[in-house]
Structure 1
Amino acid sequence: MKLRADQTGERGLPMPLWLQGALESAQAAIISALVVIAPIVAAWATSGFQNSGFEVLARLAGQAWLLIHGVPLHLTTIEGSAASQSDAGTLSLIPLGLTLIPFLLAWRAGRRLARASYTDQLWQALLGSWLVYGAFGAATGFVCRTTDVAINLWFAALIPLVPFALGMVVGARREAGSWSRLIGVDAVAWISRTSQHSRWAGSYVASVAKAATVAVIAAFALSSALLAVNLLIHWDLIIAVYEGLDAGAIGGAVLTIAQLGYLPNLAVYALAWASGSGFALGAGSQAGPLATAVGPLPSIPVFAALPSGYLEYGFVALVVPVLAGILGGWWFLRAGENHFDEWLAIKIRARWFTATVSTLALGIVIGAVAGALGGVLAWLARGSVGIGRLTDIGPDPMWTAVWLAAEVGAGVVIGYAAGPWLERQQNVPEEDLQSAV
């Protein structure tokens, strides 16, 4: 990476990297805030708020900006004149779709800073950027606190840095092309100095992690497809809720944007549903592939698509994580990095035994990693809306991880065992196919 010509000051001197990082983060913070403010202003323009004061709208926008970054908001409502008659809760349900906005802005900033930095100087730009973004979050939390909404200033300063810093690092890595160019450490040279057994172990672990990622991505994609089909099937019910709300064009548009913001959360809920662990829509409720038992829900259109009652063929959805595991096992076979199997074959001559043990071990380790990744997704997608029954929304991370680990692991064993047959089918010569026909 080298300095670009347009990253200079008035006299042709290079702009300090910390200053450029600060400017990039300020730009990302302002743009993401404007994206949040736009629907709020639209709703205000159509008299969508009972209290239309400027300060109220500004604080609401700031609170929404903090929420999309994952900052929990502590809500308090007072019923009547007595302060003792109050209800409190925490709003922590993050709209992951809207969280992509600061992430993508940070990704762009990371690429720009990587182009403007030498390999050993990028930390200066990142440090300046993160300090300014953290200060922006703390200032927003300080200004937007009210008697009804309490905000922890440490959370407001540090939590927004998680999606922002992750986006910057990913963008800088994308621009640099390799971690060695990004941080100045030649990983290939370091690995070449290790022993052969260490290299085998490292490549095995790396391939396990990649195969588990492939399986989770496949399961997430298949679950998202199930969600899309379910929304299409129940589209008439969703439209009926829209018509019943009669929110008008602007109100309907704002409601739709909010639902799109939670669409990735719904996709994770679909993944948990397909795994069998299910998810909650309120305290004491449970939605799963066999049956759904939930209490009264708010008039949100997408809730109309929720399957209800006993599902006769719901158990078929359990095949989704297994299919994803089959794909992950096949991918691992094609990677050709099963060095544990090779090591066992050297130590023990009974091939039937070593092949069985190494394949089962592979299913266990890939399933465990896939389950951990699924648990992280469930943890990110779950939360609380603060007050009332809806203090428990989303899948349970532990049970989601357990179910996914078991199902993906079983699929990995099947995919790895069936992989050689699939490879032979792909490698059949064309003349043999013609003669068979």
Structure 2
Amino acid sequence: MNRLLVALLAAFDAVLAVAVGLVAALAPLTLLWIFGFGADASWAGLWPAAGRIWQLGHLVPLAISLPEEFTVPLGIDPAAASFAISLAPLALTMFTAIFAFRSGARAATAGAWVVGVLSGAVVVVAAAAAVLATTGNDIAGVEPWQAVVLPALVYTVPALGGALAVAWQNGDDGVVDAVRVVLDRRGGAWPDVPGLIARGTAIVLTALIGAGALLLAVAVLLRGSQIIALFQSAQVDALGASVFTVGHLAYLPTFVVWAIAFIAGPGFAVGVDTVVSPVGTQVGLLPGIPVLGALPESSSPWLLLLALLPVGAGALAGWVARSQLVRDRAGAAGPEPMGARIVVTLGIAVLAGAGAALLAAVASGSIGPGTLASVGPAPGPLALTVAIESAIGAAILLLSPRGRGEPDAAEPAAVATADVAAAGTEGAAEARPRPPVD
């Protein structure tokens, strides 16, 4: 496909991703304006708030400074009137990342992934700069460079990942093919190693996300009464309850990451000097956010068995990689490629840990003043535990001796040699003169 056409399509993808994200942030505010404020407020005043929500959803921290006309009637301490909000609603982040991944993959399929990724990145930078220039206000401020760079990274990194995934599979007549040539020269199983590591890492992270979502659903079901009680204690009308619900949905992926941290072992914080983990739960006075009612009041030693889930995810990744190696080695002579299997095991562990650290980093931050300045999982401990647990599971399947059910790499050659020898014996028998019959 023509490079100019690829660039235009990628630019359109980026514009659409930004537009949908801004509409998703603006729509609830519009409903709030219609049913809550009516003609007493200007609709144009919603745009700065929508822009700030979009920026927060793309990992841009907000510096909140509440004016006296808000703090004095509510009795808020002036020291608590200025604080940061950096805990991102990952639903917006996830939408942009998925959209960007698909855009990068399409550009790679068209054979011009570099042009496509760069085109999308430039458009997002321009859009983020436009949002920054038109959403200034005295209540929520942002650092200008963060407001431009962070949304661009949220789009560009997944787009690059999708492009490289497709380019590795289909080729690109460029950098990716050059890397494959180098690996092909080494021979053996090495050309498949990067793909196996990427596939295994995707399996581990996908399994952890699924397990986290399941744990969150179970917690909501088991402690639904506490969540409803917090909704009722807020004493909000139907409009307020709808706002609460939309906010919870926007932060749903964030809570899933918290559940992953609980499963892996390190747990997460809901404030300074607090922890929620299988080992123990220590929390102080929590804000009346309904979803926090799902937090366990105490822990049990049986919850430590949840750590077997990351081990199982690593074992599944190891089984898939080992099966692929066995299929690729069918018909090849020589021993199994132990060096390649070790590299795949370590690669899955390292990248799974890095992915967990990235998830923890984007799912942690500040949601208010004082003790609320630190919530979410710590990236370092989560990365270490996920790496170790997934490495154990992957090593069990990848580094174990060959089982009876697996074909030996040398078997096909041996069978072929035996068939040739048998055919030669039969031919000699037929050529041997037979004794006369009386």
After TM superposition, the score normalised by the length of structure 1 is 0.76
Q: Answer with 266-275 or 135-144: which moved more.
A: 135-144
Matched, 1:155 2:146: yes
* Equivalent position SS for 2:373: coil
Which residue number in structure 2 is paired with residue 46 of structure 1?
35
> What is the CA-CA distance between 1:304 and the residue it aligns to?
0.7
Code of the aligned partner of 1:138: A
Preserved CA contact (<8 Å) 1:39 1:254: yes
> Using a 3 Å threshold, how does the CA distance of structure 1 residues 194 and 127 change in structure 2: closer, same or farther?
closer
Matched, 1:132 2:114: no
2: distance between equivalents of 1:16 and 1:358? 40
2: distance between equivalents of 1:84 and 1:239? 32
Code of the aligned partner of 2:152: L
2: distance between equivalents of 1:338 and 1:113? 31
Match of 2:321 among 320, 328, 332: 332
2: distance between equivalents of 1:24 and 1:387? 38
Preserved CA contact (<8 Å) 2:104 2:116: no
Preserved CA contact (<8 Å) 1:141 1:152: no
* Residue deviations 1:188-221 (CA, integer Å, cap 9, x gap): 5763466643664453354234323322322332
Code of the aligned partner of 2:197: V
Code of the aligned partner of 1:42: L
Preserved CA contact (<8 Å) 1:333 1:419: no
Q: Which aligned pairs between 1:86-101 and structure 2 lie closer than 5 A? A: 87-101=81-95
Which residue number in structure 2 is paired with residue 303 of structure 1?
292
Unaligned runs of 5+ in 2: 329-333, 407-438
Which residue number in structure 1 is paired with residue 367 of structure 2?
385
Larger radius of gyration: 2
* Equivalent position SS for 2:82: strand
Alignment size in residue pairs: 395
Match of 1:222 among 211, 219, 228: 211
Match of 1:145 among 119, 131, 136: 136
2: distance between equivalents of 1:119 and 1:167? 18
* Equivalent position SS for 1:75: strand
> Using a 3 Å threshold, how does the CA distance of structure 1 residues 113 and 391 change in structure 2: closer, same or farther?
same
2: distance between equivalents of 1:107 and 1:365? 22
Q: Answer with 357-366 or 30-39: which moved more.
A: 357-366
* Equivalent position SS for 1:390: helix
2: distance between equivalents of 1:406 and 1:85? 43
Q: Which aligned pairs between 1:55-66 and structure 2 lie closer than 5 A? A: 55-66=44-55
Which residue number in structure 2 is paired with residue 394 of structure 1?
376
Of all paired residues, the percent bearing the same amino acid is 27
Preserved CA contact (<8 Å) 2:357 2:380: yes
* Equivalent position SS for 1:284: coil
* Equivalent position SS for 2:83: strand
1: distance between equivalents of 2:293 and 2:299? 16
> Using a 3 Å threshold, how does the CA distance of structure 1 residues 198 and 398 change in structure 2: closer, same or farther?
farther
Q: Answer with 300-309 or 207-216: which moved more.
A: 207-216
* Equivalent position SS for 1:309: coil
> What is the CA-CA distance between 1:155 and the residue it aligns to?
1.6
* Residue deviations 1:108-129 (CA, integer Å, cap 9, x gap): 66577778xx745x65565454
Q: Which aligned pairs between 1:6-405 and structure 2 lie closer than 5 A? A: 22-47=11-36, 52-77=41-66, 85=79, 87-106=81-100, 119=111, 126-166=117-157, 168-169=159-160, 178=167, 183-185=172-174, 187-188=176-177, 191-192=180-181, 196-197=185-186, 200-336=189-325, 364-405=346-387
2: distance between equivalents of 1:2 and 1:255? 47
> Using a 3 Å threshold, how does the CA distance of structure 1 residues 287 and 52 change in structure 2: closer, same or farther?
farther
